[in-house]
């Protein structure tokens, strides 16, 4: 639990901690970015933890299973630790973990990845589009179109690099396994 709290602390960013320090628990006074970071962080911890709990770890007692699911959900985005054997997890859980690693932590944090705010902006824009709304936003404020463009560009860059990196590794491994197939 201590490690999880330290990972979350490092993963939400210094500006968010500044908001928490200055405004205490008055969520309405937080910057919009801090609100989005906190809400997205909670979702990216709870939903994957529920998924891991429901799909894997069935050989553990309920309390340990819950703790292992929460730990795996927290650590995957920023730290990369594990307390369970990853090779025994389902392919679906491994795919969720890869996606979480790609998303990463929040801006201004010690975590890498695409950033939680990028994902949140894209999801909120998609929800606005589905509901035929002209503007996307959150907490009573709308996003500038440049913010949405930046988020889409960052996400596309990450996905392209991720895809081509995976292809490159696959080709390289294929060549090292079959050296005679090189013309």
Task: Report whether pLDDT(183) > 60.
Answer: no
Average predicted confidence (pLDDT) for the chain = 90
Number of H helices, E strands in the chain: 7, 2
d(CA 120, CA 155) in angstroms, rounded, equals: 11
Structure confidence by residue, pLDDT tens digits, 74-125: 999 888 888 888 888 999 999 999 999 999 889 988 888 889 999 999 999 9
Task: Report pTM.
Answer: 0.84
- 3-state SS, residue 141: strand
Burial class (CB in 10 A: 0-12, 13-18, 19+), 39: middle
pLDDT at 57: 85
d(CA 80, CA 65) in angstroms, rounded, equals: 19
């Amino acid at each position: 639990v201590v490690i999880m709290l330290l990972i979350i602390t490092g993963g939400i960013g210094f500006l968010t901690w500044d908001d928490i320090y200055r405004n205490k628990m008055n969520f309405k006074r937080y910057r919009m970015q801090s609100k989005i970071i906190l809400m997205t962080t909670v979702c990216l911890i709870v939903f994957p933890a529920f998924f891991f709990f429901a799909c894997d770890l069935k050989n553990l007692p309920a309390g340990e299973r819950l703790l292992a699911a929460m730990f795996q959900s927290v650590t995957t985005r920023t730290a990369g630790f594990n307390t369970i054997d990853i090779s025994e997890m389902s392919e679906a859980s491994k795919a969720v973990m890869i996606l979480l690693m790609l998303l990463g932590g929040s801006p201004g944090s010690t975590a890498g990845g695409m950033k939680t705010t990028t994902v949140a902006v894209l999801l909120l824009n998609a929800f606005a589009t589905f509901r035929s709304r002209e503007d996307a936003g959150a907490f009573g404020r709308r996003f500038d179109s440049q913010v949405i463009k930046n988020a889409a560009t960052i996400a596309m860059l990450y996905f392209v690099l991720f895809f081509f990196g995976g292809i490159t590794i696959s080709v390289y491994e294929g060549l090292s396994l079959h050296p005679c197939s090189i013309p």
